[in-house]
Amino acid sequence: MDSLMNLISTFDLASGRIAGGALEERHLSDLRGRFVDSAAYEQALQAGDALVYTVCGVERPPSEGQLNLALGRLFPGKIGDEYFMTKGHFHAWRPAAEVYLGLAGEGCLLLESEDGRAAQLVPLRTNAAVYVPGNTAHRTVNTGAVPLVYLGVYPAQAGHDYAAIAERNFRHVVVEQTGRPVMLPREQP
């Protein structure tokens, strides 16, 4: 059994850090090709390479039954009418599910099947949990005015497949229409 210190993870919502975890930062330049309005994206990038989100994770050995934790902090903002978002991913081990726990702020999870035909927009708010089924791409979107902070819990052997999303992107986008977030099909070239 792990020592008690290895069983407790403390985290700080303001800094987005979990004790003992590695902090990764994602800037606007890391999200090239993700936003629909490329002209608005380039204009925003010229104004500065803004920090869009951070993720701090605590990983266990990738063996059966172990769980990883990741604390995400996604800042508010938009490119055109599209809200700031994470890159999004599948799990490398596709059957792996994940639970997101809303800790602060307001946003949603964009969920898509592998073929992109089935999609759903699920609210992610403070004191709420969202279950992400296996075989589902997921992207976090901040639809509020303050940072969206959430904790993800997933199997240690899940891994992350960002390449599949980088290659084809999500087939849906989350934009603001009449002051509310709406999921729309991404226009295909």
Helices (H), 50-126: none
| pLDDT above 70 (res 189) | no
| pLDDT above 60 (res 6) | yes
Residue 188: its pLDDT value, please? 54
- Phi-psi region for residue 26, left (φ > 0), alpha (ψ -120 to 50) or beta? beta
Do the Cβ atoms of 175 and 87 come closer than 8 Å? Answer: no
Helices (H), the chain: 4-7, 38-47, 163-168
> Bridge partners of 104?
149
**Between residues 187 and 1, the one the model is more confident about:** 187
Q: Distance between CA 119 and CA 61 in Å, rounded?
A: 32
Residue 187: its pLDDT value, please? 78
Domain limits for position 111: 4-185
Kindly report, residue by residue over 32-62, the tens digit of the pLDDT: 999 999 999 999 999 999 999 999 998 887 8
The CATH number of the domain holding residue 11 is 2.60.120.10
Q: Count Cβ atoms below 10 Å from residue 101 Cβ, excluding itself.
A: 17
Q: Distance between CA 159 and CA 37 in Å, rounded?
A: 30
Kindly report, residue by residue over 129-166, the tens digit of the pLDDT: 999 999 999 999 999 999 999 999 999 999 999 999 99
| Number of domains forming the structure of the chain | 1
| pLDDT above 70 (res 168) | yes
> Bridge partners of 101?
129, 151
| pLDDT above 80 (res 69) | yes
Residue 63: its pLDDT value, please? 81
Q: Name residue 43's amino acid.
A: Q
The alpha-carbon radius of gyration of the chain (Å, integer) is 16
Half-sphere exposure of 181 (CA within 13 A, CB side): 26
pTM score > 0.85 for this model?
A: yes
3-state secondary structure of 73: strand
